[in-house]
Amino acid sequence: MNLTTLVAGGGGFLGSHLCTALVEDGHEVICIDNFGSGRRENLAHLEDHPRFMLIEADIREPLGLPAADRVYHLASRASPTDFTEFPVQIALTNTEGTRNLLDYAVKHDARMVYASTSEVYGDPEVHPQPESYTGNVNIRGPRGCYDESKRFGETLTVAYEKRYDIDVRTARIFNTYGPRMRADDGRVVPTFVTQALDGEDLTIYGDGTQTRSFCYVSDMVAGLRALMDQPGLDGEVVNIGRENEITIRTLADRILEHCDTDSDLIFEPLPEDDPERRRPDISKAQKLLNWEPNVSLNEGLRQTISYFGHN
């Protein structure tokens, strides 16, 4: 079946991989992006494709878009360094922007996947985090513009489902990495990889004992697509990520091993509210989506380092 799919935030890291996979599978794809944190070059290979349409626009503004059967809502800056510079833009993208996309989904009777985040769990007191955990977010802290607006975005999807009987599924995405992240994005993998490739010291925040669980981008795209495609998942919320949890210090050591470099490690202050531990409980995704990640950290880092080495 040839479906038309709208990808909001399709010019970004995850969105551009998703657009590529959808076009390759025969979908008509409409991408909307304001290129705030995304880049046109992420989509250069698609721009002349007959099944691909790019619309440069902001989802906070009223959307005059062609109809689609499906909507992936990935539009939002996601790097903690942007939380300082763009807090209002981020908060409104995840609230007003989400409302505009929900109105669009109602109008066109489109199924939607909303990209939420592990940040809705804040600095978690429950470990690993299942979907039932209601989280520990500092609503007034430096990450609040992102964490809390993603939480409200989820609330809005539930309200629209109840009021308008539309089919919205929510993915709580855990740390994902891979090619097409921006070198200056601020997130840990592109930062460490570019530092290592440039022979600079790797900047560990805090003592590096905080943990994350890193998922490679192709696994994430497969998970998001499974959430969209499975019948009967109306209104479900599902963690998507990889369970293998490592410390940031170990991640740095791993990246140094992969790169032929003289770089050392330097330690800088831990940002306020930086979560101490994070690991998804993905049993729900395994059961409902018949999905689990299969790219190892070593393989994913090899691909990512090769990308940054050539760009």
Token pair of 165, please?
Answer: 């009987």
Contact call for residues 240 and 298 (beta carbons, < 8 A)? no
- Count of CB atoms situated within 10 Å of the CB of 263: 18
| Given 146, 160, 177, 216, the catalytic residue | 146
211: which strand partners?
247
Whole-angstrom distance, CA of residue 150 vs CA of residue 115? 9
- Could you give the CA distance from residue 3 to residue 72 in angstroms, rounded to a whole number? 13
Query: Which lies closer to ligand UDP via its Cβ, residue 23 or residue 204?
Result: 204
User: CB-wise, 76 or 194, nearer to ligand NAD?
Assistant: 76
Angle, CA 295 vertex, CA 271 and CA 287 arms, to 5°:
95
C-beta of 36 vs 271, nearer to ligand UDP = 271
**β-pair type (202-205, 265-268):** parallel
The minimum distance between CB 207 and ligand NAD, in angstroms, equals 23
The residue among 79 and 98 lying less far from ligand UDP, judged by its C-beta, is 79
Determine whether 72 is an active site residue: no
CA gap 138, 154 in Å, rounded: 17
Residue type at position 122: G
205 touches ligand UDP (CB under 6 A): yes
| Near ligand NAD in 81-110, by CB under 6 A | 93, 97
Question: Of these partners, ligand NAD, ligand UDP, none, which one is at the site of residue 277 (CB under 5 to 8 Å by kind)?
Answer: none
User: For ligand NAD, which residue of 28, 58, 236, 281 counts as binding (CB under 6 A)?
Assistant: 58
169, β-bridge pairs:
113
Member of 99, 150, 169, 187 binding ligand UDP (CB under 6 A): 187
Residue 14 makes contact with ligand NAD by CB under 6 A: yes
**Binding region for ligand UDP (CB under 6 A):** 80, 175, 187-188, 191, 203-205, 210, 212, 248, 271, 274
Residues designated catalytic? 146
